[in-house]
């Protein structure tokens, strides 16, 4: 049963620290998405990739957030420096090349103190 995996599942850090979240998409999926979920804003798309190339990162605060895909099996989302307002659940999702369904990982719950 292929699944998207995310690490860590929970992260507590202090303001100003760097945070790195990792995602392993489903093997063979060529599109990868990063979402942020908060009570106030709901689910927001931060960035997405196709074939490891960033296609849209307009939802991401550019000054502190960065997203990369070092290889086809790993996507990373970094926050540097982190701020309390970044506290949220961050989801990674992957999908096949032609679009279609996005498959979500379990999320990383980030708390910035």
Partner 1 sequence: AQSVTQPDIHITVSEGASLELRCNYSYGATPYLFWYVQSPGQGLQLLLKYFSGDTLVQGIKGFEAEFKRSQSSFNLRKPSVHWSDAAEYFCAVGALNFGNEKLTFGTGTRLTIIP
Among 79, 82, 105, 110, interactor with partner 1 by CB under 8 A: 105
**Would you say 8 or 16 has its CB closer to partner 1?**
8
The backbone region for 51, taken as left when phi is positive above 0, alpha when psi lies in -120 to 50, beta otherwise, is: left
Q: Are 34 and 91 in contact (CB under 8 A)?
A: yes
Among 13, 20, 22, 50, interactor with partner 1 by CB under 8 A: 50
| Helix, strand, coil percentages for the chain (3-state, nearest 5) | 5, 55, 40
User: Could you say whether residue 48 binds partner 1 (CB under 8 A)?
Assistant: yes
**Would you say 42 or 71 has its CB closer to partner 1?**
42
**Would you say 27 or 101 has its CB closer to partner 1?**
101
User: Could you say whether residue 22 binds partner 1 (CB under 8 A)?
Assistant: no
Of the candidates 67, 78, 103, which has an alpha carbon nearest to the alpha carbon of residue 11? 78
Task: Report the C-alpha gap between 60 and 28 in whole angstroms.
Answer: 26
Piece in contact with partner 1 (CB under 8 A), picked from 13-21, 45-53, 60-68, 77-85 = 45-53
16, with CB counted inside 10 A (0-12, 13-18, 19+), is: exposed
User: Using CB under 8 A as the criterion, which residues of the chain lie in contact with partner 1 when the complex forms?
Assistant: 4, 31, 33, 42-43, 45, 48, 50, 55-56, 91, 93, 95, 98-107
């Amino acid at each position: 049963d292929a699944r998207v995996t995310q690490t860590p599942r929970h992260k507590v850090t202090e303001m100003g620290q760097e945070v790195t979240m990792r995602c392993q998409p489903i093997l063979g999926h060529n599109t990868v998405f990063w979402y942020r979920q908060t009570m106030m804003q709901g689910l927001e798309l931060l960035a997405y990739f196709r074939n490891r190339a960033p296609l849209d990162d307009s939802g991401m605060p550019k000054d502190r957030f960065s997203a990369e895909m070092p290889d086809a099996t790993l996507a990373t989302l970094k926050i540097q420096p982190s701020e309390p307002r970044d506290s949220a659940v961050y989801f990674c999702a992957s999908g096949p090349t032609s679009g279609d369904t996005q498959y979500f990982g379990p999320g990383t719950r980030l708390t910035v103190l």
